[in-house]
Structures are given as structure tokens and as C-alpha cells.
Structure 1
């Protein structure tokens, strides 16, 4: 990973950003990062959060935040504001949605029986597709080997599973943050995959952001990613000097300077 200062950001016109520990700092939305999102949009750049957070939270984000769309539940859907309402476009097929409806509860119970120091994520009741196991938000940080055990158990039940900085997200169906981002950019913004890979930058901090880093040529990690770099299947090309929300604000300033 190279310092952010080496990133030639001319020609970038959109930002795909993780939320937890990228826009937020210590569990709270960073005011500096929120203001930076607004400055980016005022300058004509598009901003799209790409998060593992629930549909209920994403509905609020797309209605109330200075963003152009939101991708939620680790790529299960994207949401667009249309007039006074919100349109949700799902990625899983009918079979995967049915599996999510009927199988998540029993699988969660089985995982938490074996790893009781974890917990069901606090926003699970507001999720439509994925299962989120809390490993560091409302519980003390779960040891890395126990997080790996949670991932293995979820995969043994036929789910995809990826850790974030606070949750392990699991789902049925063939999607992830990177694939859904490309679907959104093609379907709503008219970007070909090749154009999107060059003209958008993605930023994140955790293993579940790796599909974004793999899908886009312009990829940035906030500095706290270094704490888990050894667990990242794909690393970003550039790294900020500052962590979390301050790191996002650093990236925003870099993009605006290139305008």
C-alpha cells in the first residue's frame, strides 16, 4: 500500500465508502467525515455508502444523508431516493431470499451456542437479508481465532461470511459489496464496468471491504486497516495517514484538491 499523496485523483467523480470505522470513529458518525461527504457532493462528486448495516438503517441514510444511493447488508441491495420515497433493488434471487427468511434464526442460535461470547447484532431486527453476529460493537472484542470459528460455522451452514470491524456478516446468494457496487453504477448511473473501475474510488477498513478493493482500481484504506492487514484477502492500493473518520476526511480533501 502506498501513501495517499501518491494517488493521482484527477478524473475521479464518485466515492464508494464503508461506514463503520471508515466514516465513523469509536462507534459514532464522525462530524468531520459527514461534513466531508457534503463537500464532495457540493463539488459535484457522487457519494455512495457501501455498508454491512441493516435495511432499516440504510433507509434512513438514503433519505437524510448527503448521498446519491446506499448499498446495504454487505451488498444485498441498493437503495435510491425517488421523490419522497425509497426504491430498493435486491441482489439475491427468490430462493436466497426465502433461505434468509427461514434459516437465519436457527443458524444464529447454533453459532452462538458454540461461541457465546459473541452476540446477535443490535440491528438484526431491521435486516431483510443478512445475518450479523456482533464481535466488537456491544460485546468485548472477540478473539481472532473465535471470529474465524464463527466464519467457519456460518460457511458450514451454506452461507457466505465475511468479518467487518464489528460484525461477522453472513448471507445466502451470490453478491458482495464489489459486485453490487458495479450493478448500481451500471443500472443507475450508466457507468460501464471499465469506466466505473477508473472513475470511482472506494474506501474501507475491514475484510468485508476486500471485494470493493478487488473490483475497483482506485482503492483506499483508512489507516486503522493496518490493524487487520494480515486478515485482508485483498489490500487497497493506497492508505491514509489518519484512521477512521479523519482518514475519510483526508481522502475527501485529496479528491477536492485534484478538482
Structure 2
């Protein structure tokens, strides 16, 4: 992982799309600092299409797609994307798994939930679970005393023993049934909403993240960036970002935004 300032100006000037995780990438200690929100606005105003790629629930993502200066949101680790059309006043909602299958999967996850809460003392259901469409989120440090790494690993293994996909974020272990992740839905969102083929235009896209569930994005995008707190997961991720910031969370995100914006003007990314 190299310092963000090592990203060549020529590479930064080619960026037309920025994908970013939310928790501990845009936020610090659970709060969105004004400078991070301002960076979203400045990026959008410069013609760089911005989309959060998050593990957070559908309920949150509906609000973000409507109210934040973004082109759309990929939520629940790739379960869907939401994009609000301001002109038509209509929300586009696209899911990776059909409604009936999601309902069936949620029933299976109830069994997984009971097993995790029984077998991993101190674990808890995420406070935002009520607003989720497709996955189960187990809290290991957001609203409860932090669990040991061994306990977090055990939660992940229980999901996998039950045939579910499981990813570790900076605050939750998320589990679901279905062959999707952040990258697969980001690819679909970019094609549908931005008119961009990310396989052909990897060099025009930056992803910013902070934790192991961002590894598919880190591994795919050559200009991927981690905020400084990603360093705590070095050696525990399937792929590392190419670049890393000096500051943590939202303050590190501002470093990335400033580097891209300082590289020069953009044309409309859509």
C-alpha cells in the first residue's frame, strides 16, 4: 500500500467515477464529518460520479440515494442498487435476487441468527437489521463492547457452515445467500446508471474503503484507495488497496477527493 500522493496526476485526472464504502471510510466514530460530505458535493460538482458501496441496509440506502449528492447506492454488500431520478421523481431499485427467493433466504437466516447468538456470547443483532432486505448483520463492536478477533472469526465460520456467504466489515459480520458481492452489483449499477463498463474502464474508477469486505473492490480496481484504518486489517484481507491515506475514515476520504480534484477538471461522467 503506497501513499495516496503516489497516485500519478495523470492517473488521477482520468478518474470519472468514485465508489466508496461508508462506515469508517466516510465516517469517523459513527459520524459523517462535514468535510466528507463536502467532498462528496465537490466531486459531484466536478463531474465525478459518486456512489457509496456499502453493507448498510435498504432503509438507509433509500434515504442516501434521495438526499445525498450521489448518483446512486449499492447496499447490503451487493444485494441491490438504488438510484434516484430527480427529473422523473422515481427511485430505481434493482436486486440481485428475486423477491420470493429473498423471502426464503431470510427464513434460513433466522436459524443462522439464533445459532450465532447462542454460540458466540456477547454478539448481537445489528441495530439496523429491521431495515434490511437480504442479509443478516451481526454486530461485533458498533453498539456493543468489542468482541475478540477469534469471536469475529467464529461468527463468520458459522455463516459459512450454514452455506451462507459471509463478509467482515469494520463493525459487522454480514451473511447472505446468493452469488453476489459489492463488485458484482457495482458492475451492474455502473452499466445501468452510468453507462460505464467497469471491466473496460477500470482506470477511470477509484474505490475507497477500509475493511475486509472491501477486498473484491480493492483487488479489481488498480487505483483502489484505503483510508488509514485499513492498515489494521493488513494480512487479513484477500486483497489490499494500491494506495492508502494518512488520515482515518472521512478525513482520509477527503485526502483522496482532494488528490483527484487537484488533478484537474472533468467532463460529465454519466
TM-score (norm 1): 0.97
Q: Which residue of 2 aligns with 1:127?
A: 132
Partner SS for 2:195: coil
Q: 2:118 aligns with which of 110, 113, 134?
A: 113
Q: Which residue of 1 aligns with 2:40?
A: 37
Per the TM alignment, residue 22 of structure 1 is displaced from its structure 2 partner at its CA by 0.3
CA distance in structure 2 between the partners assigned to 1:48 and 1:228 by the alignment: 24
The aligned runs of 1:99-110 (5 Å cut-off) are 99-110=104-115
Query: Residues 56-97 of structure 1, C-alpha deviation per residue, up to 9 Å, x if partnerless?
Result: 000000001010000000010000102323121001246741
Q: Which residue of 2 aligns with 1:4?
A: 4
- Residues 1:230 and 2:240 aligned together: no
CA distance in structure 2 between the partners assigned to 1:44 and 1:169 by the alignment: 33
Per the TM alignment, residue 190 of structure 1 is displaced from its structure 2 partner at its CA by 1.6
Q: 2:93 aligns with which of 88, 92, 114?
A: 88
Call closer, same or farther: CA 1:143–1:254 in 2, change over 3 Å: same
- Residues 1:244 and 2:249 aligned together: yes
What is the RMSD of the two structures over their aligned residues, measured on CA atoms?
A: 1.2
Unpaired runs of 5+ residues, structure 2, are: 265-270
- Residues 1:221 and 2:221 aligned together: no
Q: Is the 8 A contact 2:106 2:135 kept in 1?
A: no
Q: Is the 8 A contact 1:196 1:216 kept in 2?
A: no
Call closer, same or farther: CA 1:144–1:96 in 2, change over 3 Å: farther
- Residues 1:53 and 2:56 aligned together: yes
Q: Is the 8 A contact 1:97 1:129 kept in 2?
A: yes
Per the TM alignment, residue 151 of structure 1 is displaced from its structure 2 partner at its CA by 0.3
CA distance in structure 2 between the partners assigned to 1:180 and 1:236 by the alignment: 19
CA distance in structure 2 between the partners assigned to 1:242 and 1:43 by the alignment: 23
Name the count of aligned residue pairs. Answer: 259
Q: Is the 8 A contact 1:2 1:239 kept in 2?
A: yes
Q: 2:78 aligns with which of 75, 78, 102?
A: 75
Q: 1:150 aligns with which of 155, 158, 168?
A: 155
Partner SS for 2:137: strand
CA distance in structure 2 between the partners assigned to 1:94 and 1:126 by the alignment: 15
Q: Which residue of 2 aligns with 1:197?
A: 202
CA distance in structure 1 between the partners assigned to 2:94 and 2:192 by the alignment: 10
Per the TM alignment, residue 215 of structure 1 is displaced from its structure 2 partner at its CA by 2.1
Per the TM alignment, residue 100 of structure 1 is displaced from its structure 2 partner at its CA by 2.3
Runs of 4+ in 1 over 4 A off after TM superposition: 93-96
Per the TM alignment, residue 247 of structure 1 is displaced from its structure 2 partner at its CA by 0.2
CA distance in structure 2 between the partners assigned to 1:195 and 1:232 by the alignment: 25
Unpaired runs of 5+ residues, structure 1, are: none
Per the TM alignment, residue 101 of structure 1 is displaced from its structure 2 partner at its CA by 2.7
CA distance in structure 2 between the partners assigned to 1:94 and 1:146 by the alignment: 32
